[in-house]
Amino acid sequence: MKKANIINLIKYYAEKNDSGFRNEAYQIANEFDKIGDYQLSEYIMALLSNANTFIPQINENELTFLKKVGINGDPLPLPEKIKADIIGIINAIGHNIGVNKFLFQGAPGTGKTETVKHIARILERDLFIVDFSYVIDSKLGQTGKNIVKLFEEINNFANPKKTIILFDEIDALALDRTDSNDLREMGRATTAVLKGLDSLNEKILLIATTNLFDHFDKALIRRFDSIIDFNRYSREDLIDISEIILNFYLSKFKNIGRNIRLFRKIISLMDKIPYPGDLKNLIKTSLAFSNPNDEFDYLRRLYISVLPKAEKTLKNLQRQGFTVREIEILTGISKSQVSRELKE
């Protein structure tokens, strides 16, 4: 522990700055942990977790850099490998041993943000997302100061055990400092994030997402307890997931025909099946724009969306593996006429 730590502790105590006092104490505990004095580190952390605060802790209306996110009940189909990792996170939180920082990495649309919402629902926690439009500032050095204030807000939640903080697309703050055009400013911002994560209240669950993991700052990666890769979807996974999404939305429509076999055939014709986020939009749009008086119009719309350049001739549909009945659904031409024209 350095002299500066002692001075800061006294200063924050005199100013009744609870957040600053706690952050400084967490840093001291972290230093003791690094040099191997685990018992003292744990003792300090225990005192902090049980200590009364100097001032009332902030409530939702006083937040500057965070906003509450609503949690819906939409389905979240995930491959078994990813699902097992999410169950592991929930178990880790239940064990309450300070494993509370997670990084979700993967391409857009792989379900990272939606997974965080479902974790919040399962754990019955409030979800707050960082509003980067307020954090990032064009003034030199201000972004770093805002990040310090952001973590003060996070550590001062009145009920940390019922809170999840989401750094959605944290890339804005966490890109490799050697690749940044403004090295100094990026360095200050990333350093502020590093310190914030080091002093994070262990009762708070923090999850960050990124689409640019390969450019992520290595020092920041080490601050996370676990990294979950959301790119692990097989083609069969995506076909199964598309069916789950369809069944969910079909339940919201009246007079819509259900032909899962034909639906799966259409999805299977795609050279590259999109990730769940884009799949959901594709299916939802096909249903939303469909003719309410035509039970299978959504399948025709889906086929056109999936294969916009494909020939819509009967012969080509047959070559694609569709039966006479399925061709009737996709074209509106009667089965008898389809059979006759195919024979000719």
pLDDT tens track for 249-307? 998 888 899 999 999 999 999 999 999 999 999 999 999 999 999 999 999 999 999 99
Q: What is the pTM of this model?
A: 0.76
- pLDDT value of position 19: 67
Spacing of C-alpha 198 from chain mean position: 22
- pLDDT value of position 101: 97
Mean pLDDT of the chain, nearest integer: 86
When pLDDT is averaged across residues 133-156 and rounded to a whole number, the result is 85
pLDDT digits (tens, 9 = 90+) for 311-341: 889 999 999 999 999 999 999 999 999 999 9
Alpha helices in the chain (DSSP H): 3-14, 18-34, 38-50, 80-95, 112-123, 132-135, 142-155, 171-174, 183-198, 218-221, 235-250, 260-268, 276-288, 297-306, 314-319, 324-331, 335-343
pLDDT digits (tens, 9 = 90+) for 228-249: 999 999 999 999 999 999 999 9
Radius of gyration of the chain (CA): 26
- pLDDT value of position 257: 93
One-character DSSP codes across 210-239: ES-GGGB-HHHHTTSSEEEE-----HHHHH
